[in-house]
């Protein structure tokens, strides 16, 4: 690659900004176009390094998971046991079932080869010979794009036996789910790949010790893995300087709800939430005030519209204001939004998607849905808010996986932060139903 070539790991040749989604390059999903823009250059560089050096580079970059938990990626890779006593697996989570999250499919559609390249680098670093991309069943269009891209990568010698003339071999497969939200949880995902019902597993043991078919397994999100080629190509220090110091790099923010220009925006971590809403998503229709924003997908604690000034979109900053980055799915609700109806819709989703394995979640999500339905029908009472909080508290922290917390947090924190508005809604709905 000559110095004059604009590499796809940078925006407009600027090494200070990695670019994951590049719809501006026509036909980038085709391997020839991807290669002509520098694609698979990072893989060639990686296989010339020691596997431990690749992991160390990712670790030093500060890359954190983009799937919700924001766990340090390089550190997670070090949990994979050394040696070849057992098969090792990489599972890439493309389930993306969190309501309000739709950013991973942008990578699958516009830049699937960067994801594949990241998978190959990660597999090489951890000694993985088999990688799976677990994609939600409804993503048929993106499944077909991925299948085509993987076939191209095989044909060009980037996947398969002795890739790039090395003694390293790896296979990549796409596994379609059946549309269950619970399979976005890493152990539910593994159960599904194994052909079983998506019941989350009790941990420990953790996947790095006992994952797919009882073998060491690492699970990473699509966006997380898509960052890896840029890190290897440009170096850990380059990546670590982008965005927020403790949560570096760019993030894909999927903005929906009451905004003029909903969509996915790739911006440095730590970008002001108000900048995302007003400068990139075009503000609120009719210049209405914002009542509530959920900053990271439907399961994250919401923020009040009158408390958004100065809020930055990175894991540490959102923790300070009582929320979390989650999947970066920003849901904006204007001043006319009926919060009881919002909570009912969210509660109905988590009730429907509960696998039923844990009693607090199986029963509690149904109770919350019924109480909120009663409120929406005009039969609620202000004391129902306290009842909802008690039910949420009995779910939170008492389940095998985090779906229980995901169901409890929107209800619990919305009541805590919008109690006055909710009481007024209950009285108004009761009056309308009378």
Domain 339-433 class in CATH: mainly alpha
Q: What tens digit of pLDDT does each residue of 303-330 get?
A: 999 999 999 999 999 999 999 999 999 9
Instruction: Copy the structure tokens of residue 54.
Output: 């690749």
Q: What is the pLDDT of residue 85?
A: 83
Q: Are 174 and 180 in contact (CB under 8 A)?
A: no
Q: Are 236 and 57 in contact (CB under 8 A)?
A: yes
Q: What tens digit of pLDDT does each residue of 198-222 get?
A: 999 999 999 999 999 999 999 999 9
Q: What is the pLDDT of residue 201?
A: 96
Q: In the chain, which residues fall in CATH 3.40.50.11540?
A: 31-238
Q: How far apart are CA 379 and CA 338, in angstroms?
A: 15
Q: In 3D, which of 264, 232, 237 has the Cα closest to residue 248?
A: 237
**Residue 267 in 3-state DSSP?**
strand
Q: What tens digit of pLDDT does each residue of 246-300 get?
A: 999 999 999 999 999 999 999 999 999 999 999 999 999 999 999 999 999 999 9
Which run of H or E residues covers position 119? helix 112-126
Provide CATH code, domain 243-334. 3.10.20.600
Q: How far apart are CA 90 and CA 208, in angstroms?
A: 10
Q: How far apart are CA 89 and CA 186, in angstroms?
A: 13
**Residue 138 in 3-state DSSP?**
coil
Phi, psi of 42 (to 5 degrees): -70, -35
CATH 3.40.50.11540 fits 31-238, yes or no: yes
Residue 352 CA from chain centroid, whole number: 21
Q: How far apart are CA 313 and CA 300, in angstroms?
A: 13
Q: What is the pLDDT of residue 93?
A: 98
Q: How far apart are CA 188 and CA 198, in angstroms?
A: 5
379 pLDDT higher than 90: yes
Phi, psi of 303 (to 5 degrees): -115, 145
Other Cβ atoms less than 10 A from the Cβ of 115: the count is: 27
Q: What is the pLDDT of residue 24?
A: 76
Phi, psi of 249 (to 5 degrees): 100, -175
Residue 261 CA from chain centroid, whole number: 21
Tell me the average pLDDT across 71-78: 97
Q: What tens digit of pLDDT does each residue of 168-184 get?
A: 999 999 999 999 999 99
Q: In 3D, which of 141, 157, 126, 164 has the Cα closest to residue 48?
A: 164
Q: What is the pLDDT of residue 2?
A: 30
Q: How far apart are CA 372 and CA 312, in angstroms?
A: 32
Q: What is the pTM of this model?
A: 0.94
Q: Are 108 and 149 in contact (CB under 8 A)?
A: no
Q: In the chain, which residues fall in CATH 3.10.20.600?
A: 243-334
Q: Are 45 and 233 in contact (CB under 8 A)?
A: yes
Residues sharing a CB contact under 8 Å with residue 93, sequence separation 6 or more, in sequence order: 67, 134, 184, 186, 189, 219, 220, 221, 222
Handedness of CA 107, 112, 114, 115 (dihedral sign): positive
Tell me the sheet residues that pair with 276.
none
- The more confidently predicted of residues 413 and 12 is 413
Could you give the strand order of the β-sheet that contains 217-221, starting from the edge strand earlier in sequence? 171-176, 130-135, 89-94, 217-221
Tell me the average pLDDT across 70-85: 93
- The more confidently predicted of residues 1 and 332 is 332
Q: In 3D, which of 94, 102, 65 has the Cα closest to residue 298?
A: 102
Q: How far apart are CA 415 and CA 353, in angstroms?
A: 22
**Residue 330 in 3-state DSSP?**
strand
Q: What is the pLDDT of residue 19?
A: 67
Q: How far apart are CA 226 and CA 124, in angstroms?
A: 15
Q: In 3D, which of 79, 64, 69, 65 has the Cα closest to residue 402?
A: 69
Q: How far apart are CA 406 and CA 361, in angstroms?
A: 10
Tell me the average pLDDT across 425-429: 92
Tell me the sheet residues that pair with 294.
331
Other Cβ atoms less than 10 A from the Cβ of 351: the count is: 20
43 pLDDT higher than 80: yes
Residue whose tokens read 């942008």: 106
Q: In 3D, which of 253, 275, 256, 272 has the Cα closest to residue 264?
A: 253
């Amino acid at each position: 690659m000559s110095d004059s070539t604009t590499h796809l790991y940078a925006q407009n040749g600027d090494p200070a900004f990695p670019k994951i989604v590049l719809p501006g390059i026509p036909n980038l999903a085709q391997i020839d176009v991807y290669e002509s823009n520098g694609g698979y250059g990072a893989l060639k560089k990686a296989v010339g390094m020691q596997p431990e050096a690749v992991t160390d580079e990712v670790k030093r970059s500060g890359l954190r998971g983009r799937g919700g938990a924001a766990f340090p990626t390089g550190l997670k890779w070090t949990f994979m046991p050394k040696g070849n006593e057992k098969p090792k697996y990489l599972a890439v989570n493309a389930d993306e079932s969190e309501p309000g999250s739709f950013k991973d499919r942008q990578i699958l559609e516009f830049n699937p080869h960067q994801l594949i390249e990241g998978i190959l680098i990660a597999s090489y670093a951890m000694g993985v010979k088999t990688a799976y991309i677990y994609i939600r069943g409804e993503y048929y269009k993106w499944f077909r794009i991925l299948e085509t891209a993987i076939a191209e990568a095989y044909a060009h010698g980037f996947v398969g036996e002795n890739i790039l003339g090395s003694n390293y071999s790896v296979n990549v497969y796409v596994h379609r789910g059946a549309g269950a939200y619970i399979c976005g949880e890493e152990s539910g995902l593994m159960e599904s790949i194994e052909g079983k019902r998506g019941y989350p597993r009790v941990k420990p043991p953790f996947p790095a010790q006992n994952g797919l078919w009882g073998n060491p397994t690492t699970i990473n999100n699509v966006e997380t893995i898509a960052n890896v080629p840029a890190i290897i190509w440009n170096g850990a220090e380059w990546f670590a300087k982008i965005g927020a110091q403790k949560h570096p790099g760019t993030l894909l923010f999927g903005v929906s709800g009451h905004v003029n220009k909903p969509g996915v925006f790739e911006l440095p971590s730590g970008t002001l939430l108000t900048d995302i809403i007003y400068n990139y998503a075009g503000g609120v229709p009719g210049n209405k005030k914002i009542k509530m924003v959920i900053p990271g997908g439907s399961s994250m604690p919401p923020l009040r519209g009158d408390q958004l000034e100065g809020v930055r979109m990175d894991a540490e900053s959102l923790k300070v204001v009582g929320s979390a980055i989650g999947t970066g799915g920003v849901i904006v609700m204007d001043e006319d939004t009926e919060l009881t109806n919002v909570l009912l819709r969210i509660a109905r989703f988590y009730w429907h998607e509960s696998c039923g394995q844990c009693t607090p979640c199986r029963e509690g999500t149904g109770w919350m849905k019924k109480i909120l339905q009663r409120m929406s029908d005009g039969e609620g009472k202000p004391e129902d808010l306290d009842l909802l909080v008690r039910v949420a508290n009995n779910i939170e922290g008492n389940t095998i996986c985090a779906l229980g917390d995901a169901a409890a947090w929107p209800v619990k924190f919305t009541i805590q932060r919008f109690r006055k508005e909710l009481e007024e809604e209950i009285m108004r709905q009761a009056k309308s139903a009378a």
